[in-house]
Amino acid sequence: MSVVQESPSAVRLRAAELRRLIEHHNYLYYVLDAPEVPDAEYDRLLRELQDLEARFPDLVVSDSPTQRVGASPLETFAEVVHEVPMLSLANAFSEEEVRDFDRRVRERLGVERVEYTAETKIDGLAVSFRYEEGRLVRAATRGDGTRGEDVTANVRTLRAVPLRLRGSDLPGLLEVRGEVFMTLAGFRALNERQRSHGEKTFANPRNAAAGSLRQLDPAVTAERPLTFFCYGVARCEGCGLPDRHSELLQTLAGWGLRVSPEVRVVAGVEGCLAYYAELGRRRDALDYEIDGVVYKVDRLDQQLALGFVSRAPRWAVAHKFPAREELTRVLGVEFQVGRTGALTPVARLEPVQVGGATVSNATLHNMAEVERKDVRVGDTVIVRRAGDVIPEVVGVLPDRRPADAAQVSLPRVCPACGADVVRVEGEAVARCSGGLYCPAQRKEAVRHFASRRAMDIEGLGEKLVDQLVDRGLVRTVADLYALSPAQIADLERMGEKSAENLVHAIERSRRTTLARFLFALGIREVGEATARTLARHFASLDAVTAADEEALQGAPDIGPIVARHIVSFFAQPHNREVVAALRAAGVEWEEGEPRVVPTPLAGQTFVLTGTLSTLGREEAKSRLLALGAKVAGSVSARTRYVVAGADPGSKLERARELGVEVLDEGAFLGLLQRAEGAGQAQEA
């Protein structure tokens, strides 16, 4: 819906309705995990509200969904004094200690059995949220329990935290306590992004959550995958509360606050221990880290009667799981080659028990991580294991380093095939340059070669590639052109007709274009757009293979890194042998004279923000560069377009401030298609 008649009252009503709808969908998505509408519809509602507030600034209110990333960077965090201290919990590490806790509770209360609320102990950051008349007015970290830091501006960026509570019967003042944390999927994605940008990675989700929440720039916090669970109430004025802790959590959920779905009321100590055992079994299936479970006496009057001791309540205890981090020693470092040619250093360790399993190997991710952590053979290191995730070395104890500790060096040649190992300056990952013949990359090379935008061999899917390689029928992509129908028909789930169809598809692929062939070779950083640029500029394969880095950079938008990858690829004798074998097998294309073709987007600067659903960030960038555009990392007055995908960052707000035209994904794809069509017409 859009406002047709822009009378002040109609605009105000529409803005209020949009805020209500957006918060409703936030509640369904983040609290109930039951979204009603696709992301695109949510984005449309948010954009409409943003446009209204931009045109009518007096509509902006502090709890508008548009204000989640609206604060300016802070110079420091203000101190907050907790009127009700944020206490710690006593820990229990064994069944005997849990039974002792239950015995003390029963003896103090004079009862035979107690009901407990059992819940997961999130490994995150404790935060206090203060609501007045249903509006979020302050958020503070636990700190030392008495004094914490004011992180309101950052907490307001968390969509899982309601800026305004739901319902009409709300307390005048409500102070709730909860745990801010990062999901495991979000943590892995964040670390991968940090590594790709050559930035510091986080040791574990808790450190990542703490570091993200304590950013001085709220826009940075907004880009981090943080969420929270509420676990209790410190103060409530102007509204009656239930008599049990479990019912209190239900009330908080009704007001729009996120509560753990694992909360359960259990009977007596046996119920507690059964809950602990069940969560221990399911721990690795959860998408967040827990380091134990918490038992709380369910009846609030019994909690009051039990009171506190020192800085912990007598009515609650944390039952901890076995540690997931341990110390051990690095015996050596070996390098494994992945399907894309990436070399991963793997630490061979003195075997150690971590989280209930023996660990003797742990990933070091890449050479940038080895260098940043300064891991050496002989070092004592911290090893972390979480479920099915590969164990990793998260830190070194330098004070335990022996005098003969040896530095880790990147091998000069691939341990799988002997091709040169290439690590571009500034990049974290080193790669094998023998992409067409390296055994470790064989399946990936064949899959890419046969893909629709490359040689377009219809019917050659992933499972069939696996069989061809595993049986030794295909060692390089050139072997595809020697396959017979009988060989293919002998494979699992393949008959004579299917085999004949595949052979015909392989036969059709012999006639292609230079651009498709260059893309099919799988040269690092050479996507479709770059392959088209090379084909246009050099017009023949021999010219491309003979070009040095300087000559390659003479082609439009071919930079030094791409040029280095191309030269390195064709410098490998085995790669050249496979290319020669392909040409000998009859793979051919038309070649001509080099031509300089005008680029439709020459001189236009684009900035990409958010996630594009139909193409990756690198592909979008590659296609823009091939059309002559420039792709910048920040928005300025010289920016022509900002392309905004899902979950855009602060660049979108900056674009609006400067009046830069913003394209959603659909408009961006349309622009690309028109520009590429114009480029093809110019070529013709």
Residue whose tokens read 């028909």: 489
Q: Which residues pair with 292 in a beta bridge?
A: 121, 320
- Phi-psi domain of 568 (left: phi exceeds 0; alpha: psi -120 through 50; beta: other): alpha
* Alpha-carbon distance values, 260 to 31, 121, 190, 231, 249 (Å): 9, 10, 23, 8, 9
Contact 392, 361 (CB under 8 A): no
Nearest of 537, 2, 87 to residue 307 by alpha carbon: 87
H/E run at residue 29: none
Instruction: Give me the DSSP letters along 166-197.
Output: -SSS--SEEEEEEEEEE-HHHHHHHHHHHHHT
CA distances 206 to 30, 43, 128, 247, 394, Å, are 20, 30, 17, 28, 13
- For residues 266 and 214, the answer to whether their CB atoms sit within 8 Å is no
Note whether 26 and 16 are within 8 A (CB): no
Tokens coding 290: 């827990």
Rounded distance, CA 155 to CA 13, Å?
Answer: 27
Residue 121 designated active-site: yes
The structure tokens listed for 176 are 């709730």
Tally of helices (H runs) and strands (E runs) in the chain: 24, 26
157, 443, 553 from 177: Cα distances, Å: 18, 51, 58
Both tokens of residue 506?
């392989």
Q: Which of 161, 159, 168 is nearest to 133 (CA)?
A: 168
Q: Report DSSP state, residue 647.
A: S
Closest listed residue to residue 683, CA positions, set 535, 510, 563 = 535
Q: How open is the CA angle 83-87-90, to the nearest 5 degrees? A: 165
Tokens of 580: 């020669």
Residues with a catalytic annotation lie at: 121
